[in-house]
């Protein structure tokens, strides 16, 4: 059992790798992306991938939190969905004619995008109805064999 004193900042998530502790969800995700070849093929793709993830995270931070009162949740949801059309325009412009958000193959930015849109759809179904191109990225991620298998067999949750 891990105690709070075993964690660098006393909170989750943490990842233990060969006796080294990593904390912070985006740092862990970035590390795993580099370890698994999902960070981007070049240093520029890696930088673009990180910047997209941070941009998506910035938008997500507008959204409701579990600890919020119902009134605050409604206000945060409104702010999130008010900002979404502009963000979608930026994302579409960045995507251009590519199939994946960065480069010619899947990166952790595509996975992060999928996770974000999944979360949005739990708040309000049809979050990408105005963007077939970005919906296609979401669908491509879901069609990846390992992702498709996980989605088919995973426990059903809202996260």
Domains and CATH numbers, the chain: 4-35 (no CATH), 40-58+91-153 (1.20.1050.10)
pTM for this entry: 0.90
Q: Position of tokens 């049809």?
A: 126
Residues β-bridged to residue 23: 14
What averages of pLDDT result for each successive group of 10 residues across the chain (159 residues)? 71 88 93 97 98 96 90 94 96 97 98 95 86 96 97 83
């Amino acid at each position: 059992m891990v105690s709070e004193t075993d964690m660098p900042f006393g909170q989750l998530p943490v990842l233990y790798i060969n006796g080294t502790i990593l904390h912070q969800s985006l740092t862990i995700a970035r590390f795993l992306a580099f370890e698994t070849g999902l960070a981007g093929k070049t240093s520029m793709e890696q930088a673009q991938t990180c910047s997209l993830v941070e941009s998506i995270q910035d938008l997500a931070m507008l959204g409701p939190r579990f600890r919020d009162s119902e009134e605050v949740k409604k206000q945060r949801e409104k702010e999130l969905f008010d900002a979404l059309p502009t963000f979608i325009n930026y994302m579409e412009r960045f995507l251009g004619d590519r199939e994946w958000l960065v480069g010619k193959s899947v990166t952790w930015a595509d996975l992060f995008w999928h996770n974000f849109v999944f979360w949005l759809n739990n708040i309000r179904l049809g979050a990408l109805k105005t963007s077939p191109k970005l919906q296609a990225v979401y669908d491509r991620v879901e069609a990846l064999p390992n992702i498709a298998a996980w989605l088919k067999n995973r426990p059903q949750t809202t996260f």
